[in-house]
Structure formats: structure tokens, C-alpha cells
Amino acid sequence: DIADVPWAAEKLEVPTSNVQGFLPLAVEEVVTIANRVGMHPTYTIYLPREQDSVYTVSAYPPRAQDEATIHIDQYTGAVLADYRYDHYGSLAKAVALGITIHKGTQFGWMNQWISLLVCIGMIGVALSGYYLWWKRKPKQGLGAPKAPSVEKMKRFLFLLIVLGIIFPLVGLSLVVIWLLDRFVIRQIPAVKHFFNA
């Protein structure tokens, strides 16, 4: 709660400034310490809130490998904790990399071009799917295949029910669609024919 830090450092224990009764360090001195220990220049300094609090210096840079969080004693300037990418576990490293790759910052402009190509590809798949459906659909109706009988769908229905319980929003969506199908689509002949229900 004291600072905006990288994901992997959110549960890091925050030390305290035990030596009190002195004047706190000036922010300029904290900047000097952060630069001396090799913090990435994108770091943010969070000021102490209490007499025993610490300065927190957090870098959330474009590359995951440059992430770092340090806590500095507000009176002595001692670095009480220094937590960097190299200290992360395997899962935390994978998440940190995933975040920077997803944001398009991990590999610079190449990362952004690849992400752009993936987005264009997804748009192309959606548009070509619509085009192919439009070219092949019958003049009357949606062109949807006839639904198989419930007997053939037992395992699939069981899976849907389980997923609906695990993910309640999915379950609610499935119930709404089932109600719509049961009491609207199947009750109006023109709509039923259009959807091939």
C-alpha cells in the first residue's frame, strides 16, 4: 500500500527505520543513493509516511530485467532491502516478462511491430470469417447447422454446467442464452426458421 511497485514485489516485506531522532535524508540524497546502486532512471521515489517508515524507490521500466524495488532508511541512508528481477522466482519472472511483452516494451519497436501484426491478423480472421459466411449462407436464414440431439450432447452439457459453476458470469450468460432460445427463438416460427433451431 505504500508504493506502486512491480507485480513480483507487491508482497515484499517493508522494513522500518529503527534509528530515530535524527533529521530525515533530503530527497536529493535518496536520488544519489538510487543512482549509486544502479536503479533504472525511470524510478519513482515514495516518501516515508511515519517516523519509522522508509523511502521506497521503485523502477517499473520498459524491460522486465530492469525492474527493482529498494527500501532506504530515512535517517541513515542504508539500503534495507534491494529486490530485483534476478531475485524473482520462475513464475514471477515469467509474469514480469509477459507484462512487458504484452505492453510492447520488452523488445522495443520490434515488439510493437509484432504485436501490431498479431492484431491485424486477428482483425483479418474476423473479417474473412464474416465474408466467407456471407458468401455461403443460404438466401433465407442464418445458415446455422441443425443442433444435435441432447442425447449426443450429454458430456458437452456437463462440461458447460461445470464451467458455469466455476465461472458464474459464464454460467449466467449460458442461462440467458438458453432462456432466449427456449422462450423466444423456438416460439416464433420466422425466427426459428432463420436460426434453423
Domain ranges of the chain: 7-103, 133-195
Contact 192, 185 (CB under 8 A): yes
Nearest C-alpha neighbor of 71 from the set 36, 114, 34: 34
Contact 66, 60 (CB under 8 A): no
Predicted confidence at residue 14, as pLDDT, reads 86
Q: What predicted TM-score, i.e. pTM, was given to this entire model?
A: 0.63
Q: Which residues of 58-72 are buried (b: 16+ CB within 10 A; e: fewer)?
A: bbbbeebebbbbbbb
44 forms bridges with which residues in the sheet? Answer: 58
* Residue 1 pLDDT > 70: no
Phi-psi region of 196 (alpha: psi -120 to 50; beta: other; left: phi over 0): left
**pLDDT 10s digits, 157-197:** 899 999 999 999 999 999 999 999 889 988 998 888 888 77
Q: Which range is least confidently modeled, 16-25, 125-134, 140-149?
A: 140-149
Predicted confidence at residue 174, as pLDDT, reads 92
**pLDDT 10s digits, 48-68:** 988 899 999 999 899 999 999
194 membership: H or E segment, kind and range:
helix 189-195
The pLDDT-based confidence of 2 (bands split at 50, 70, 90) is low
Mean pLDDT of 103-118: 92
The pLDDT-based confidence of 148 (bands split at 50, 70, 90) is confident
Q: How far apart are CA 97 and CA 105, in angstroms?
A: 10
Mean pLDDT of 109-124: 94
